[in-house]
Structure 1
Amino acid sequence: MARLPRLIVPSQPHYIIQRGLNGQPVFQDTDDYTTFLGWLRTAARTYKVAIHAYALLPDQLHMLATPSDEEGLGQMMQWLGRCYVPYYNQKYGRAGTLWHGRFKTSVVDAANFLLVCSRYIELAAVRAGLSPAVEEYPWSSYAHHAGIRPDGVVTDHPAYWSLGNTPFQREAAYIELSGQHLSAAQIATVEAAVLKGWPLGTDQYKKDLEQKARRQVLPAKRGRPFKQP
């Protein structure tokens, strides 16, 4: 199916993924991760994008973020590229692009999928065999949500706050939720949406989004339109 033009909806969460060129590493040591996170925090504040969850893997990055306007998310990603790619190229003696094309994104139905996406992102390192447990991987937002350590990059979403009336209640509820493995169907649904640029939500959410955006948000069905007799 043909890829739809990228859809950015202000005040709605978006799942963002960007991979290294041809599967090559984009983070190789602690300084790479901490440098990128420092710039991410600055860029998010500058372009008014709230980062709700993230995971940095050696060859890719995943984020869950809400932009305040249509331009901020793209501007943030461009700014990060202008800062991080020259740093990385100079450090490792390489030239040219670091990323495999443009970043991919999917608008997320917060009421039904935000916490699913947050867990999917933070468990990415476990699924990839990089860590035996989610709490042991240092380059994700899980430690913040579980109350292990605060993370200045993260802005909590109302869906996270709904887990409890106190920080302890929210953290305990999130730890319990993260201990419940995502089903194969949930994983497949998230991956299909973000990799193809489709909205991630209920059918009603998608219909409402299409009306709000005044454009097609899902791929058209194959074949010729059915003609009424």
Structure 2
Amino acid sequence: MPRANRHFLPHHVWHITHRCHRQEFLLKFAKDRQRWRYWLYQARKRFGLCVLNYIVTSNHIHLLVRDHGEGEIAESMQLIAGRVAQEYNRRKGRKGAFWEDRYHATAADSEVYLARCMVYVDLNMVRAGVVSHPDDWTVCGYREIQHPPQCYAVIDRLALCNLLGIQHDAGLREQHAGWIETALANGEYAHETCWTQSLAVGGREFLEAVRATLGSRGRYRDIEEQHGMLALREPATAYKADFGVEPPL
């Protein structure tokens, strides 16, 4: 799975996906999914990672974050991927790669596009036929938003409200739940490749700005309609990010 770019553009929201090596079900046990979330929490503490949403499935993860332009996303992904892989391999006496060596990042426009990306992430396990409602999957942002934990929260609820144009936390929970119920009632949870195979998703002005910021890397990227939304096409050449079993220093 290719990365959208080597350097994250500051102050954008990014939808990140990272798959287990060869799409193996290395996260099939709840304790391993919980360890991924633990290291996400540590990334927020250590690097100031602004987390907006997430879900850990049995063979990949989705992470929605906002970039402050201080390298915190790359540092966080190295920490999480390295520590999860090391712990798993040590416990299982396993050698070799845990993750695909590349992860993918798609920039998401704010408000309506961000809300749609939130729902896409939340409905991942419903889409897979594992659960009938996202509240039934324990390690996910939907559960955290709807049932705020007393400690070890990872989602920046204030940042999420600001980006969505919502005034307060109660409104966030209400609107978030409403989006999910509407999508479930209408059967709107199909796979949308624009969130996993594009540079950016959003309004035309937003996409033009992203393309301009990318400079030569964005020169030949077309804006196309995908799933009723506009998306900036993925580059042909992928940039690698090596996440082996060794933890970062």
TM-score tier, shorter chain, comes to 0.7 to 0.9
Please name the residue that 2:105 is paired with. 105
TM-score between both structures, scaled by the size of structure 1: 0.83
Task: Report the alpha carbon displacement of residue 100 of structure 1 after superposing the two structures with TM.
Answer: 1.7
- Measured against aligned partners, the alpha-carbon deviations of 1:150-192 in whole angstroms (never above 9, x if no partner) come to 361111264535565443333122111111218899956x523
- 2:158 and 2:189 map into 1 onto residues whose CA distance is 20
Whole-Å separation in 2 of the counterparts to 1:163 and 1:205 = 17
5 Å matches for 1:21-170?
Answer: 21-69=21-69, 71-146=71-146, 148-150=147-149, 152-156=153-157, 158=159, 160-161=161-162, 162=164, 164-170=166-172
Quick one: distance in 2 between partners of 1:187 and 1:200?
Answer: 17
Identity of aligned residues (%): 17
Deviating more after overlay: 46-55 vs 174-183: 174-183
Residue 210 to residue 72, structure 1, CA distance change in 2 (3 Å):
same
Structure 2: distance between partners of 1:186 and 1:220: 27
Q: Which of 178, 181, 195 is the aligned partner of 2:180? A: 178
Instruction: Call closer, same or farther: CA 1:153–1:159 in 2, change over 3 Å.
Output: closer
Work out the CA distance in 2 between the residues paired with 1:97 and 1:82. 10
Unaligned runs of 5+ in 1: 222-229
Q: Could you tell me the TM-score, scaled by structure 2's length?
A: 0.77
Question: Per-residue CA shift, 1:182-207, capped at 9, x if unaligned?
Answer: 8899956x5234224x1111221111
CA distance in 1, matches of 2:158, 2:9: 16
- CA RMSD in angstroms comes to 2.7
Superposition deviation, residue 95 in structure 1: 0.7
How far is 1:29 from its partner? 2.0
| Structure 2: unaligned runs, 5 residues or longer | 223-249
Deviates more, 1:30-39 or 1:119-128: 30-39
Quick one: distance in 2 between partners of 1:39 and 1:20?
16
2: CA distance, partners of 1:48 / 1:149: 20
Instruction: Indicate conservation of the 8 Å contact 1:27/1:58, yes or no.
Output: yes
**Which residue does 1:207 correspond to in 2?**
208
Q: When the two structures are aligned, how many residues end up with a matched partner?
A: 217
- Matched residue, 2:19: 19
Task: Give the letter aligned to residue 215 of structure 2.
Answer: R
Deviations 1:83-132 (A, max 9, x none): 11110111222111111221110111113311111111011011111212
Judging changes above 3 Å, is the alpha-carbon distance between structure 1 residues 4 and 19 closer, same or farther for their aligned structure 2 residues? closer
SS of the aligned residue for 1:125 comes to helix
* Counterpart-to-counterpart distance in 2, 1:65 and 1:109: 12
Aligned partners of 2:64 and 2:70: how far apart in 1?
A: 16
Larger mean Cα displacement after TM superposition, 204-213 or 8-17? 204-213
Larger Rg computed on CA atoms: 1
